[in-house]
Amino acid sequence: MAEIIDLTKNERKYQELFGGDGRRSARRQRPMGEGGGKIEEMLSISEASKRCGLSRHRLDAAINKGDLPFYQFDGRSRKVKASDVHAWLESKRRRVGALEGEEV
């Protein structure tokens, strides 16, 4: 004969052990910091060139020269972080009359 299970007893035991009614609660957010941060936006070279107003070839040249870091997931396409493109653009910023290495 099948054993009769007292659900109320098991429910109470579950509440004692886990402090809830057995339902899944919302996940807690991990604190920002090492490994818990938000993933930055990744752009294709075409998307990045449209956003910054430069040609795709100019960005490819910067990547090939080693000035602009990139990611390559398959054998062909390249992706860049939006923040890396911004930093690279800022490194190209000059003021008329400023000497090389001088603060802008």
Where are the chain's structural domains? 42-91
Residue 40: what pLDDT?
A: 83
Average pLDDT over residues 17-32: 59
58 close to 64: Cβ distance less than 8 angstroms:
no
Residue 18: what pLDDT?
A: 65
What gap in Å lies between CA 75 and CA 84, rounded to an integer?
21
For residue 98, the 8-state DSSP code is P
The CA–CA distances, whole Å, from 6 to 3, 19, 23 equal: 10, 19, 19
Residue 41: what pLDDT?
A: 87
Is pLDDT above 70 for 25?
Answer: no
More confident residue, 20 or 62: 62
Q: 77 pLDDT band (50/70/90 cuts)?
A: confident
Is pLDDT above 60 for 54?
Answer: yes
Q: 103 pLDDT band (50/70/90 cuts)?
A: low
Question: Long-range contacts: 76-80, Cβ < 8 Å, 24+?
Answer: 77/44, 78/44, 78/45, 79/42, 79/43, 79/44, 80/42, 80/43, 80/45, 80/48
The tens digit of pLDDT for each residue in 79-95 reads: 999 999 999 999 988 88
Q: Class assignment of domain 42-91? A: mainly alpha
User: What percent of the chain shows pLDDT beyond 90?
Assistant: 42
What gap in Å lies between CA 44 and CA 70, rounded to an integer?
10
